[in-house]
Structure 1
Amino acid sequence: MLVKTPPFRRVRRAVVALSATAGFLTVPTAAQAADNPFERGPAPTTASIEATRGPFATAQTTVSSVAVRGFGGGTIYYPTSTAEGTFGAVAIAPGYTASQSSISWFGPRLASQGFVIFTIDTNSRYDQPASRGDQLLAALDYLTTSSSVRDRIDRNRLGVMGHSMGGGGSLEAAKDRPSLQAAIPLTPWNTTKTWSTVQTPTLIIGAENDSTASVSSHAEPFYQSLPSTLDKAYLELAGASHFAPNSSNTTIAKYSISWLKRFIDNDLRYEQFLCPAPRGTAISEYRDTCPHSV
Structure 2
Amino acid sequence: MVRQHSSPPATPRTARGLWAAALTTLGLFAALIPGASGAQALVADNPYERGPAPTVASIEAARGSYAVAQTTVPSASVTGFGGGTVYYPTTTADGTFGAVAVAPGFLATQSNIAWLGPRLASQGFVVFTIDTNTTLDAPDSRGRQLLAALDYLTRGSTVSGRIDGTRLGVMGHSMGGGGSLEAAKSRTSLKAAVPLTAWNLTKDWSQVRTPTLLVGADGDTTAPVATHSEPFYESLPGSLDKAYLELRGATHSAPATANTTIAKYSVSWLKRFIDNDTRYEQFLCPLPQAGPTIVEYRGNCPHTS
TM-score by length of 1: 0.89
In structure 1, what is the equivalent of residue 17 of structure 2?
none
- Range 31-40 or range 268-277, more displaced: 31-40
**Is 1:289 equivalent to 2:300 in the alignment?**
yes
Which structure 2 segments of 5+ residues have no match? Answer: 1-37
Deviation, structure 1 residue 31: 4.1
RMSD over aligned CA atoms reads 1.2
**Is 1:54 equivalent to 2:70 in the alignment?**
no
Deviation, structure 1 residue 29: 9.7
Give the letter for the 1:180 counterpart: L
Q: Secondary structure at the match of 2:85?
A: strand
Which of the residues 220, 241, 256 maps onto 2:251?
A: 241
Give the letter for the 2:89 counterpart: P
Deviation, structure 1 residue 33: 6.4
Q: Are the counterparts in 2 of residues 205 and 236 from structure 1 also a CA contact under 8 Å?
A: yes
In structure 2, what is the equivalent of residue 9 of structure 1?
none
In structure 1, what is the equivalent of residue 143 of structure 2?
133
- Number of equivalenced pairs: 267
Give the letter for the 1:110 counterpart: L
Q: Are the counterparts in 2 of residues 212 and 242 from structure 1 also a CA contact under 8 Å?
A: yes
Q: Secondary structure at the match of 2:140?
A: helix
Q: Secondary structure at the match of 1:171?
A: helix
Distance in 2 of aligned mates of 1:30 and 1:138: 37
Q: Are the counterparts in 2 of residues 33 and 268 from structure 1 also a CA contact under 8 Å?
A: no
Distance in 2 of aligned mates of 1:57 and 1:29: 21
Which of the residues 265, 268, 293 maps onto 1:258?
A: 268
Which of the residues 111, 120, 123 maps onto 2:130?
A: 120
In structure 2, what is the equivalent of residue 190 of structure 1?
200
Give the letter for the 1:284 counterpart: V
Report 1:17-32 matches (<5 A). 31-32=41-42
Deviation, structure 1 residue 30: 7.9
Give the letter for the 1:291 counterpart: P
Q: Are the counterparts in 2 of residues 162 and 170 from structure 1 also a CA contact under 8 Å?
A: yes
Q: Describe the superposition over 1:150-175 as per-residue Cα deviations: whole angstroms up to 9, x where unpaired.
A: 00000000000000000000000000
Deviation, structure 1 residue 239: 1.2
Give the letter for the 1:62 counterpart: T
Report 1:66-77 matches (<5 A). 66-77=76-87
Q: Secondary structure at the match of 2:149?
A: helix
Give the letter for the 1:90 counterpart: V
In structure 2, what is the equivalent of residue 157 of structure 1?
167
Q: Are the counterparts in 2 of residues 198 and 226 from structure 1 also a CA contact under 8 Å?
A: yes
TM-score by length of 2: 0.86
Deviation, structure 1 residue 281: 1.6
Give the letter for the 2:265 counterpart: Y
Distance in 1 of aligned mates of 2:44 and 2:87: 27
The percentage of counterpart residues that share the same residue type is: 71
